[in-house]
Amino acid sequence: MTTIAVTGKGGTGKTVLSALLIHFISQKTTNVLAVDADPDSNLPDALGVAELVENTLGDVREVFQVSRDEMGTTNKEQWLEGKVYAEVICECDNFDLLVMGRPEGEGCYCFANNLLRGVLRRLMRHYDYIIIDSEAGLEHFSRKTIESADYIIVVTDMSKKGLSTAKRIKELSEELDLGFKEIFLVGNRITNKEAEEVIRSFAEQNNIKLLEFLPYDEKIAELDLKGEPIVNLPEDSAYYQKVKGIAEKIEELHVRSITS
């Protein structure tokens, strides 16, 4: 199992990158779990499978909170597991999709989350790849709903804020003890050499491995605007090819981890 968390400041294009990585990797193996762990993002839309999503993990957790008193002696962990498998995990053609959904409401979620941690841990270990589109606060990691990540890919644009968020994510992921093997930086929508230099020296200073610079692509903006799936990006575009390269690198890392 290789877990990749794609994160970064909002609006830097991490969902685009996540969707394309899922798209490429799931063409090689269908044993892929895509996780939307950012309540603000729209990974299902980017993947073109939004209409298949029935429920989010958050929805099911809310149902649990209100109906648990009436459950009698039924086993609550099995109840939650059944809901997650039947209603939350969305079976797409080449991959499974799990949407974490809304954050917790009022009241105590300790028990529900504790049960869900167990359910997700047992579920996730069976996938070859788990690709997580995660908000910058890494909330699901800090709550341990998602246990760990092998690789963290931080996406930044040309803004100073994008970089300072990247730095914070690096610090946070170390604090959270995620046990990751490597943290990568991807520069997105980079249009000039000067920005590349700034990002390159930032990566060096902060000990983050620079993975790739992705260009600005008008077609992405257009797809976004129309609400069309990002995976419809033309195959001959530079953006498409570069992300394909990142996917190949991840596959190499995965193969190395299971053979070594």
Partner 1 sequence: MVERKRIEIPEGVKIKESVGEETEFPFDISPMYEGERVRKGDMYVELGGTAQSGFELVLALPEEEVEDMKVTLVGPDLDEMEEGKAYPYAMIYYIAGSQVEQDLEPVIERRNHDFQNYIEGYMHLNQRYDIWIRISKGAMKKGLKSLTQIAKATMLLFKNELPFIEKIEALYITDGNLVDKLLNEVAMPIYDERDARVESLHDEDVDEFYSCTLCQSFAPTNVCVISPDRPSLCGAISWFDGRAAAKVDPEGPNRAIPKGELLDPITGEYSGVNEFAKEESGGEYDRIKLHSFFENPHTSCGCFEVIGFYMPEVDGIGWVHRGYPEPAPNGLTFSTMAGQTGGGKQVVGFLGVGISYFRSKKFIQADGGWYRTVWMPKELKERVAKYIPEDVRDKIATEEDATTIEELKEFLKKVDHPVVTGVVRPVDGKKITDGWAEEEEIEEVAEEVAEEPATVEQTAQPQPMQIQPVQQMSVQMPQMPAFQMPQIQLSSQPSTPGIKLIIKDAKIVIDKVIIRSEEKKGGK
Q: In the complex, which residues of this chain contact partner 1 (CB under 8 A)?
A: 30, 65, 68-69, 72-79, 81-82, 85-86, 89, 91, 96, 106-108, 110-112, 114, 119, 121-126
CB of 74 to partner 1, least distance (A): 6
CB of 216 to partner 1, least distance (A): 37
**How far, in Å, CA of 217 to CA of 233, rounded?**
10
**How far, in Å, CA of 176 to CA of 229, rounded?**
33
Decide whether 14 or 83 has the Cβ nearer to partner 1.
Answer: 83
Decide whether 110 or 258 has the Cβ nearer to partner 1.
Answer: 110
Name the one residue in this structure whose structure tokens are 């949407």. Answer: 99
Decide whether 73 or 205 has the Cβ nearer to partner 1.
Answer: 73
Closest C-alpha among 150, 120, 152, 151 to residue 136: 152
CB of 60 to partner 1, least distance (A): 13
Residue 71 one-letter amino acid: M
**How far, in Å, CA of 197 to CA of 200, rounded?**
5
CB of 85 to partner 1, least distance (A): 5
Decide whether 126 or 193 has the Cβ nearer to partner 1.
Answer: 126
CB of 47 to partner 1, least distance (A): 17
Q: What are phi and psi of 180, to 5 degrees?
A: -75, 155
CB of 42 to partner 1, least distance (A): 24
**How far, in Å, CA of 5 to CA of 14, rounded?**
10
CB of 149 to partner 1, least distance (A): 19
Q: Where are the alpha helices (DSSP H) in the chain?
A: 14-28, 43-47, 57-67, 76-83, 110-124, 139-142, 160-175, 193-205, 218-226, 238-259
Take residue 156 and report the two structure tokens written for it.
Answer: 């930044």
Q: What are phi and psi of 182, to 5 degrees?
A: -155, 145
CB atoms under 10 Å from CB of 71, counted, come to 11
Decide whether 106 or 235 has the Cβ nearer to partner 1.
Answer: 106
Decide whether 143 or 170 has the Cβ nearer to partner 1.
Answer: 143
Decide whether 113 or 206 has the Cβ nearer to partner 1.
Answer: 113
Residue 200 one-letter amino acid: R
CB atoms under 10 Å from CB of 33, counted, come to 23
